């Protein structure tokens, strides 16, 4: 049956939100929502897709492992085997439902291994002939960031396995974390030096592992637990997970001593309760327990989805809650004008960090919870992110505390705040609102968009306040004198900012489409629009029907694109970008009027590529962009429909799959020649 328009809209919103939060979590190490809020978004999306299977797309977050690879700071490397995500259970009924599902697949007496879920950063360690040759972050599950030099500074990770006859290849999965005591000492020193404090051990650990200078990582005293054998060539035959953990210990690899076995579901639930009861007594942060089927034969029978193994689940602990005083309620304005209320709190330590702000979502949530300034409130925080106000403690409400009313005027510009029909949110409808302008500049310059280094929020605020930037098109008119006039900018930093601005002009067309902030247009939609239409002028001039003819672009996205380009203010910005030489086309895409829907004129329009191994002349992101700019697609796995497999150094199993299926294989010189041709 057809998907109702309102459902299609909500699915698009959920996918965009999940992608945004993935970027904040995996790349910036600066999440905006709690684990519980994120999981709720994924659950809602999965529920809608189960109700309307025709709405499922291959790039949906429910169809792939979560994660993100930063390919600008560290080289991208491909995992020998994909690092899948885990499905979650947030209470005992969901854990029992998982158990019932695997019993329906195979009605056997499962034995389980239960592991405290360390709140750190997933890592893949690759050993060849017993020698550590690579350490990589999880990334997007298929490829990660090469952090080998930093990994080698972690004392618990051996550079050589403690085996006389090590396997030819051994890939091990683990978790890098910062012990609680080390985190507290680090923050004490940061405070004494007047430097920024880390929010929690997870953020501190992730940031420490991803330092450009390995000496900084070495000074952070990170630790590791290994929990899984990945690819293995040689060595003993391992029949169970418990057996593999014992063997990892023999290899000299660190294994969490708090891991235990459970003979049935009742024992699993008891183990989870015990870890929850002593979570704060552990030397490391935990946010749950990972439950795994022990027997490898049973695992093979259970199999996996494209996102997660069926034989494992993460039992997530409930969010932690504390009470504190709500000082006042304020409103922030985002780049789209959305006005979001938030609570200013008496600082309280909850969920591993001290917090002073909490989201209140929208007017309806404030009214439903009936939270008021000066209330004592319950604050909930799961893991390491911004908390939410759960409810007021009515018994402690001070006399005279009045219900909060949503302001009628924007706190940034004084313009009206309007609640649109059918919307839960209020919006500042003044397009020239300085708060909106700042956030549009921040979004435009972000890594996922035009990637303008040195142009963060503080710089954006100065540019807008001084009248130097009224819209994102003005970024490209900045002079050296303008930059030198900014607080904190000297000659070198000013020159670096302008160089970054100039470099951004050559970003691929999908990046520009993302940067423009068109509602509902995320990376996947931007790639398809660029691939099929080839030039921003053709996208701007396309009718809604022509936009809907593009693969993956439904009526909601098409209507949003049309509305964006119908705006006179947006067309002024586009004209500024065109005049300053910002790239508007994919290679071979031609100018306005050339080609049309279907990617006419694009040399790779009917080709699908798979990348494996490291390339000398390209990062993984650059190689993907080069293919997409020419109209091609990049897939994560090899099939009979694959046009070419591009092979670099240290290729994974995809090379063997390509050879087996007879798919054409390109080394790097041949790939370059194809691009140039």
pLDDT digits (tens, 9 = 90+) for 417-429: 999 787 889 999 8
Q: Which of 599, 626, 581 is nearest to 535 (CA)?
A: 599
Q: Which of 197, 232, 237, 489 is nearest to 355 (CA)?
A: 197
**Distance separating alpha carbons of residues 243 and 653, to the nearest angstrom:** 25
- Domain 509-579 fold is DNA polymerase; domain 1 (1.10.150)
Q: Which of 578, 591, 568 is nearest to 476 (CA)?
A: 578
Six token digits for residue 640: 């009979």
**Is residue 592 predicted with pLDDT exceeding 50?**
no
**Is residue 65 predicted with pLDDT exceeding 70?**
no
What DSSP character marks residue 328?
A: E
Across 184-198, 578-592, 663-677, which has the greatest mean pLDDT? 663-677
**For position 58, what pLDDT does the model report?**
67
Query: What's the mean pLDDT in 21-44?
Result: 71
- Domain 5-63 fold is Helix Hairpins (1.10.287)
**For position 630, what pLDDT does the model report?**
78
Confidence of residue 1 (pLDDT cuts 50, 70, 90): low
**Distance separating alpha carbons of residues 481 and 483, to the nearest angstrom:** 5
**Distance separating alpha carbons of residues 500 and 519, to the nearest angstrom:** 26
**Is residue 553 predicted with pLDDT exceeding 60?**
yes
Task: Look at residue 649 and give its three-state secondary structure.
Answer: strand
Burial readout 244-259 (b: 16 or more C-beta within 10 A, e: otherwise): bbebbeebebbbbebb
Average pLDDT of the chain to the nearest whole number? 87
Confidence of residue 462 (pLDDT cuts 50, 70, 90): very high
> Catalytic site residue 117?
yes
With beta carbons less than 8 A apart as the criterion, state whether 358 and 343 touch. Answer: yes
Across 147-156, 497-506, 549-558, which has the greatest mean pLDDT? 497-506
Q: Where are the domains of the chain?
A: 5-63, 87-316, 320-426, 431-504, 509-579, 608-676
One of 117, 316, 369, 654 is an active-site residue; which one? Answer: 117
**For position 598, what pLDDT does the model report?**
40
- Give the CATH superfamily of 87-316: DNA ligase/mRNA capping enzyme (3.30.470.30)
**For position 117, what pLDDT does the model report?**
95
**Distance separating alpha carbons of residues 654 and 646, to the nearest angstrom:** 10
**For position 24, what pLDDT does the model report?**
66
Confidence of residue 67 (pLDDT cuts 50, 70, 90): low
Q: List Cβ neighbours of 499 (8 Å cut-off, separation of 6 or more).
A: none
Q: Is 368 exposed, middle or buried (0-12, 13-18, 19+ CB in 10 A)?
A: exposed
Six token digits for residue 257: 């001593």
**For position 203, what pLDDT does the model report?**
78
**Is residue 518 predicted with pLDDT exceeding 90?**
yes
Query: What's the mean pLDDT in 261-288?
Result: 92
Six token digits for residue 491: 């000659």
With beta carbons less than 8 A apart as the criterion, state whether 302 and 295 touch. Answer: no
pTM (2 d.p.): 0.50
**Distance separating alpha carbons of residues 591 and 453, to the nearest angstrom:** 29
Percent of the chain with pLDDT over 70: 92
| Rg, Å, the chain Cα set | 26
**Is residue 599 predicted with pLDDT exceeding 50?**
no
Confidence of residue 80 (pLDDT cuts 50, 70, 90): confident
Task: Look at residue 304 and give its three-state secondary structure.
Answer: strand
Confidence of residue 591 (pLDDT cuts 50, 70, 90): very low
> Higher model confidence: residue 26 or residue 491?
491
> Higher model confidence: residue 305 or residue 244?
244
H helices of 370-522, where? 434-445, 457-465, 480-484, 491-504, 509-515
With beta carbons less than 8 A apart as the criterion, state whether 526 and 513 touch. Answer: yes
Confidence of residue 590 (pLDDT cuts 50, 70, 90): very low
Secondary structure percentages of the chain, helix, strand, coil, to 5: 40, 20, 40
Six token digits for residue 50: 């189960």
**Distance separating alpha carbons of residues 197 and 140, to the nearest angstrom:** 28
Six token digits for residue 533: 């239409």
**For position 421, what pLDDT does the model report?**
81
Query: What's the mean pLDDT in 108-136?
Result: 94
**Distance separating alpha carbons of residues 595 and 578, to the nearest angstrom:** 20
Q: List Cβ neighbours of 357 (8 Å cut-off, separation of 6 or more).
A: 342, 343, 344, 345, 386
Confidence of residue 184 (pLDDT cuts 50, 70, 90): confident
**Is residue 595 predicted with pLDDT exceeding 50?**
no
Length of the chain: 677
Confidence of residue 594 (pLDDT cuts 50, 70, 90): very low
Query: What's the mean pLDDT in 219-228?
Result: 92
Q: Which CATH number fits domain 608-676: 3.30.56.10, 3.40.50.970, 3.40.50.10190, 3.40.50.360?
A: 3.40.50.10190
**Is residue 20 predicted with pLDDT exceeding 50?**
yes
**Is residue 32 predicted with pLDDT exceeding 90?**
no
Query: What's the mean pLDDT in 318-327?
Result: 86
**For position 648, what pLDDT does the model report?**
86
- Domain 320-426 fold is OB fold (Dihydrolipoamide Acetyltransferase, E2P) (2.40.50)
Query: What's the mean pLDDT in 515-523?
Result: 89
Main-chain phi, psi angles of 2, to 5 degrees? -70, 145
**Is residue 6 predicted with pLDDT exceeding 50?**
yes
Query: What's the mean pLDDT in 242-268?
Result: 95
> Higher model confidence: residue 442 or residue 193?
442
Least confident interval from 124-138, 474-488, 612-626? 612-626
**Distance separating alpha carbons of residues 302 and 111, to the nearest angstrom:** 14
- Domain 431-504 fold is DNA polymerase; domain 1 (1.10.150)
Q: List Cβ neighbours of 575 (8 Å cut-off, separation of 6 or more).
A: 473
Fold agreement (431-504, 509-579): yes
> Higher model confidence: residue 612 or residue 481?
481
**For position 26, what pLDDT does the model report?**
53
> Higher model confidence: residue 158 or residue 522?
158
Q: Give the C-alpha distances (Å, rounded to integers) separating 532 from 137, 159, 505, 606.
A: 33, 48, 21, 11
Identify the helix (H) or strand (E) that includes residue 353.
strand 353-359
Confidence of residue 30 (pLDDT cuts 50, 70, 90): low
Percent of the chain with pLDDT over 90: 50
Beta bridge partners of 645: 610, 665
- Tokens 């280094």 found at: 453
Task: Look at residue 379 and give its three-state secondary structure.
Answer: strand
H helices of 534-598, where? 536-541, 544-548, 555-566, 568-579
Q: At what angle do helices 265-277 and 92-105 cross, to 10 degrees?
A: 150
**Is residue 22 predicted with pLDDT exceeding 80?**
no
With beta carbons less than 8 A apart as the criterion, state whether 584 and 574 touch. Answer: no
**Distance separating alpha carbons of residues 533 and 561, to the nearest angstrom:** 13
């Amino acid at each position: 049956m057809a998907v109702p328009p309102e459902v299609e809209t909500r699915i698009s919103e959920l996918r965009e939100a999940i992608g945004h939060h993935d970027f904040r979590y995996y790349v910036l190490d600066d999440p905006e929502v709690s684990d519980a809020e994120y999981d709720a978004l994924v659950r809602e999306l999965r529920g809608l897709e189960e109700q309307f299977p025709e709405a499922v797309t291959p790039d949906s977050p429910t169809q792939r492992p979560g994660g993100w690879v930063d390919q600008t700071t560290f080289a991208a490397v491909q995992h020998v085997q994909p690092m899948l995500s885990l499905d979650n259970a947030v209470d005992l009924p969901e854990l029992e439902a998982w158990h019932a599902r695997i019993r329906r697949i195979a009605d056997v007496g499962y034995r389980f291994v239960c592991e405290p879920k360390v709140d750190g950063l997933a890592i893949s360690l690759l050993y060849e002939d017993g020698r550590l040759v690579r350490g990589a972050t999880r990334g997007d599950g298929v490829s990660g960031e090469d952090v080998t030099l930093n990994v080698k500074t972690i004392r618990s990770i051996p550079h050589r396995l403690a085996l006389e006859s090590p396997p030819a290849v051994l890939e091990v999965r683990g978790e890098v974390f910062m012990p609680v005591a080390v985190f507290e000492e680090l923050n004490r020193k940061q405070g004494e030096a007047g430097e920024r404090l880390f929010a929690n051990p997870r953020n501190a650990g992730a940031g420490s592992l991803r330092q450009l200078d390995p000496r900084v990582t070495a000074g952070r005293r990170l630790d590791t637990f290994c929990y899984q054998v990945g690819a293995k060539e040689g060595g003993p035959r391992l029949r169970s997970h418990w057996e593999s953990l014992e063997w990892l210990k023999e290899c000299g690899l660190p294994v969490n001593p708090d891991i235990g076995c459970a003979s049935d579901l009742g024992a699993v639930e008891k183990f989870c309760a015990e870890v929850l009861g002593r979570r704060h007594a552990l030397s490391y942060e935990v946010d749950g327990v990972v439950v795994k089927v022990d027997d490898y034969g049973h695992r093979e029978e259970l199999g996996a989805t494209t996102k997660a193994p069926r034989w494992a689940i993460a039992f997530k602990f409930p969010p932690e809650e504390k009470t504190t005083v709500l000082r006042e309620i304020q409103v922030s304005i985002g780049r789209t004008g959305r006005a979001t209320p938030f609570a200013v709190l008496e600082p309280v330590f909850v969920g591993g960090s001290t917090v002073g702000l909490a989201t209140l979502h929208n007017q309806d949530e404030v009214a439903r919870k009936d939270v008021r300034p000066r209330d004592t409130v319950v604050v909930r925080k799961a893991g390491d992110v911004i908390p939410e106000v759960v409810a007021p403690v009515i018994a402690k409400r001070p006399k005279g505390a009045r219900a909060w009313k949503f302001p009628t005027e924007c706190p940034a510009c004084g313009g009206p705040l309007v609640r649109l029909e059918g919307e839960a949110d209020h919006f500042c409808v003044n397009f020239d609102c300085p708060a909106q302008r700042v956030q549009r500049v921040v979004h435009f310059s972000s890594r996922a968009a035009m990637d303008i280094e040195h142009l963060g929020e503080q710089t954006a605020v100065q540019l807008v306040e001084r009248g130097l930037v009224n819209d994102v098109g003005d970024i490209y008119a900045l002079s050296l004198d303008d930059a030198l006039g900014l607080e904190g900018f000297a000659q070198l930093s000013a020159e670096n900012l302008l160089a970054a601005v100039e470099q951004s002009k050559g970003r691929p067309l999908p990046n520009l489409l993302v940067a423009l902030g068109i509602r509902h247009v995320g990376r996947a939609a931007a790639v398809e629009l660029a691939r099929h239409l080839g030039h921003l002028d053709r996208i701007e001039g396309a009718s809604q029907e022509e936009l809907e003819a593009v693969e993956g672009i439904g009526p909601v996205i098409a209507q949003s694109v049309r509305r964006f380009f119908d705006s006179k203010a947006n067309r002024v910005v586009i004209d500024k970008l065109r005049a300053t030489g910002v790239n508007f086309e994919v290679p071979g895409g031609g100018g306005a009027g050339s080609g049309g829907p279907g990617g006419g004129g694009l040399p790779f329009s009917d080709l699908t590529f798979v990348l494996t191994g490291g390339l000398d002349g390209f990062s993984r992101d650059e190689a993907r962009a080069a293919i997409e700019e020419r109209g091609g697609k990049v897939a994560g796995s090899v099939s009979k429909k694959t046009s070419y497999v591009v092979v670099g150094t240290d290729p994974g199993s995809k090379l063997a799959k390509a050879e087996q299926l007879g798919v054409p294989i390109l080394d790097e010189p041949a790939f370059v020649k194809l691009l140039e041709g």
